[in-house]
Structure 1
């Protein structure tokens, strides 16, 4: 079994399918992936679901068990099986996990994501009437804590008949980690290894504007206003290299620090291929066959990784997305309110923004030191 590329029969259908050992698409999975694609889920999301469901099919095939017979008991065995699988993901996208002789095992977050995908898959099959009398094998329970949270994030595939907050009873406990901002000296070292104006403009934009990688890659020439010092992030689904904005809402982001826009302007004037019709800002340069094509996400990641290696920066958390974390953390520490930061970052849920509004270790240290100094001034001898 594998995930295979295919030619969509109609516009809006997925360009991949999960096929069995003889190369035939698995019909239930194809129907589910089609439902995601026609609802305009991003190609990356559809692809992630495909690989998650491939894991389920491989597990069931090894047990000689059809999809309809997958049960809560087998779901527990499936989780144990997942915990023994090695990760085939790229280093920059993987989470820290246990390394064995077979390689790095799937992280707890990856296992939980796979279980969530399987749960959504069975919800789809049941709601379509194809699995009458079958209950979701991934058991769930009411989440009374989330029910009290205003503006809570809702799962993408819950049915209209069940909007109550729920959570899976089968999941792996995860470590609650804070996003790691890139220190100034690390960013300076990274920037020093970038010789192309295009690459410098990319990293400066992500750091100064808090943009997602897909958002900067998706910028068009008319999205940038130099006079007003702002960039408009628009929801588009037509990027030639597949880059995509996560948010479905357009937003305006001001850039008032005079770092990113001057570099971007120099790139457009001096380095961007002038003889192309594309309105996409960031293009492949040089003299190769791909000259003038839109820069892809993988191209951005490779550029970032090469610069990090040259600067001898080998931390696993140092990724293009970490520049967004850096901006968000810095803005909150400088006093930006939670709702304002949520709007600037383009978050759909306050829960996403609250990751950056937690008290950091150095804030605890600074306030602890300040408290000691006040105690000394007051003559506290305890």
Structure 2
């Protein structure tokens, strides 16, 4: 049996779920214009991974100073000449080049990094061929659970994107006197002509000033919430976890199920609806995706949004349905399963008009929840297929 197709039709998360749930062994090859990748599985666990976009593990070990070039080349020679019928990693360990614990930790990090890279591959072809894994490279003996792997890779991708954004915003503005071409004269130990403290005084004050730390509730909650999500969970349980996390950041929130032509209310917290259950009311809210709206835009771009809400037809309909007035600021985040948006989170701070705080932690959780949501959906389909039976 083999599984093949295009990433545009079946994303990496879906492929992983199929391999994990069926506990298959084999090799997954992914090919795109920019390069190729290869993942080896043993009974549904990932034991090896490589990507043209990620440095090979042997090179990383040498670069980190964990093994020498000579030790790596010796291990490769022993394997190639048949002196030791073992994976390269096992040879490195047996020859005393690296400790087993250190090697396994580096292997885990490498596999997570390879999968993180693959998460950005939205196009290309894949081919999964069943078969016993061939242990001829640096492989992880125990293997990595695919649920953990996708969650950790998603978390690292969020960290990477946040770091990139912070680096782009760290260029300091030019000082006013530099921009105007004027030079400030600062006498030693005194003040500048404008009455500002001298450089020496400023440096001394900065050195003695207490360091300020800002408590971020969204980031503080992230680890514990992901741990709750890592266990077996149904779609309804995942929905409740997302809403619970959102309730720590905003006054009210709604999760929509994303369908081919529209979005449909799935769950909520914080809504105040007269003479009717808020849960029942939100399940009646239906917004088409063939007409302009911020909902459609976020789904198309597959990225979060925080800002104002324009006075448009479907925005007015939505806010009329849920009540509370017109918010100054809203938050929307897609729940992604691979490249597919399967649900959408909306939130605001009505009835108050306070700004929505930082949301990086919530966005990271939503990303992981998307994968868990997709896994639960696939498990439900497989269970339904088993119950129907053959014919």
The answer to which structure, 1 or 2, has the higher relative contact order (CA under 8 A, 6+ apart) is: 2
Greater strand fraction, Structure 1 or Structure 2: 2
TM-score for the superposition, normalised by structure 1: 0.28
Q: Based on CA coordinates, which of the two structures has the bigger radius of gyration?
A: 2
TM-score for the superposition, normalised by structure 2: 0.28
